[in-house]
Structure 1
């Protein structure tokens, strides 16, 4: 990552500075940040921070900015404890046809409430994200929702429900995201451990640590 970042900056920054004084600057930033979000979330965050006055961005781009900035902070392990930013995205996407972005906005609002330890509110928004996410779209994202639901239920000692969520998360990410697959195997094993189901605990731990 550290070796790739200088190359990225050398190639993208001239474009950004050339756009800074025209109306396409924010749109260029958002497109670049979105495309880099999965592979280089640190670069996405850096790009988004170059938008100095987001209040002046037109509504559609401002909603995307709020969603992407919340997402980038979350992926860079920056505590996201203020819901005002992501609610701007939700207010916009509720009245748009982009259900996928609305689902992601609901998910990240759930993450805000999870950070605040408001578990019922977090669960509510995770379930809303599941409900409106277009079928067949982004199974790894759906896996994230189920995994977070599992964490919420586990925190409330609802072990059987948590286990079912972790299994759903595992089924969606296997063959698509190896790191998330291992994470969900560990969660499944932990859930069986809490339920004192030793054979299943051993089975899933062994799969997590082959």
Structure 2
């Protein structure tokens, strides 16, 4: 009884574990579904239901990947990167390039949010290389878009513009309005920062017609960009959009642009300082330098030195960080551009080598096939010739006897006729060439195939000599074999000279080479 109870407990325990594993897999599938549909809150709720102690290696890698994804999309900073490091290591070993690219992306994105821009770029460029192999356009786009944003924020506007235009191309390919609006925003911003105001205005005017497709946060960002680009052309319209952006999300950039408008157009220093003070409150590491610089200048002009000292300390650190980041990002981009170029060259060489191998294999296959067909046909001809000789011998024996063997003779004659018909079809050309040589005519116009047809035919009418050619002289060329056949046919050297169209010295050379090759064959 105790034994049965133990077995029952063991079975129930395993069923429980199996149920947990199945439940975990279902939850992971649900999280993937919600994340794919941008339902981050639902994904986060499902994530909390996972039984972490029962996760396998693959499930654990997905768990940490989804954790990083949810944190990034929820605007939370990552305290420890051990989990996503585990995912990268696992997906790399499993050769799952799609998930590996995704893991590198979120590691890079979260590093960027933590202010580690250089490490972020390293990861994002790695993700970019992997996603190009995988062909996942959605993944390629989010990498492209983030790289554009980072480069523009770092002041590398040419690189930012390059990636923004790439993002716009991806948006057009997929007909995704959200992607398209963000790409236009980045392009307009980059042009504006490059002081190419007409180009910036051209792009930003495309945005309003797509507002209905955007969420509140996105609209606030877009309104800020419209205000920035419109500020040199229509300050009042720019202010209207900037205040809309502030109402939607307290955008520090919107406060800073409003301050510039107040100073340039109205000379209102107090309002400008108040707006910049608000901008500092809502600023982050990405736009702090510009805001602090503008505010410092105003305080200096108004001789408010205490505020200046405070801001200068903050500005100095920000300026040093920005210069270092700018240099590092340029270096990283150049390195990855070189790696990508080398990879493309390696892929091209690999493709050419593969094609060459396929061509060589194809040619060898054709040659082997023709060789096989040739040997098979030759074997069939020899067998038919042997049968013809055997049947002919039997027929002669029957005809020599006085017995009533008419029926048997008829059957043998029928078999011989059928075989001879097949044989004549196969050896018609060879027989013509044989008669040509037997009559002592020249062969100077013969092709290599003519030599082979003649040799095959002669091997059938003189089987013992044909066997000698294939065994003792198999390494000789068709020309040398034909010389041996002519000798075997009883042709004199003068006849052979005429048939080949050569002189005595050439005949001596042929003899010497045949002897040399025959000796090598015997030694081997």
| Short-chain TM bin | 0.7 to 0.9
**1:200 aligned residue:** 199
Pairwise CA distance, 1:19: 9.8
Larger relative contact order, structure 1 or 2 (CA cutoff 8 Å, min sep 6): 1
Q: Call closer, same or farther: CA 1:136–1:208 in 2, change over 3 Å.
A: farther
1:77-88 superposed matches below 5 A: 77-88=75-86
**2:185 aligned residue:** 186
**2:22 aligned residue:** 24
**1:11 aligned residue:** none
- What TM-score, normalized by structure 2, do the two folds share? 0.35
CA distance in 1 between counterparts of 2:125 and 2:27 reads 31
Q: Does structure 1 residue 122 correspond to structure 2 residue 117?
A: no
1:51-66 superposed matches below 5 A: 51-52=50-51, 54-66=52-64
1:1-210 superposed matches below 5 A: 21-39=19-37, 40-52=39-51, 54-133=52-131, 135=133, 137-174=135-172, 175-210=174-209
Pairwise CA distance, 1:41: 2.1
Pairwise CA distance, 1:180: 2.2
Pairwise CA distance, 1:56: 3.6
Pairwise CA distance, 1:25: 1.3
Task: Write 1 or 2 for the structure with the bigger share of helix.
Answer: 2
Q: Call closer, same or farther: CA 1:72–1:177 in 2, change over 3 Å.
A: farther
Larger deviation: 99-108 or 171-180?
A: 171-180
Pairwise CA distance, 1:44: 1.2
In our comparison, the structure showing a higher alpha carbon Rg is 2
Pairwise CA distance, 1:155: 2.5
Whether contact under 8 Å (1:143, 1:170) holds in the other structure is: no
Unaligned runs of 5+ in 2: 1-15, 210-524
- What TM-score, normalized by structure 1, do the two folds share? 0.84
Q: Call closer, same or farther: CA 1:207–1:81 in 2, change over 3 Å.
A: farther
SS in 2 for 1:207: coil
CA distance in 2 between counterparts of 1:81 and 1:181 reads 33
Whether contact under 8 Å (1:19, 1:25) holds in the other structure is: no
Moved over 6 A (4+): none
RMSD: 2.1
**Deviation digits for residues 29-78 of structure 1, max 9, x if unmatched?**
001111121222221111011114x2441111100111112112222333
Q: Call closer, same or farther: CA 1:132–1:195 in 2, change over 3 Å.
A: same
CA distance in 1 between counterparts of 2:181 and 2:17 reads 42
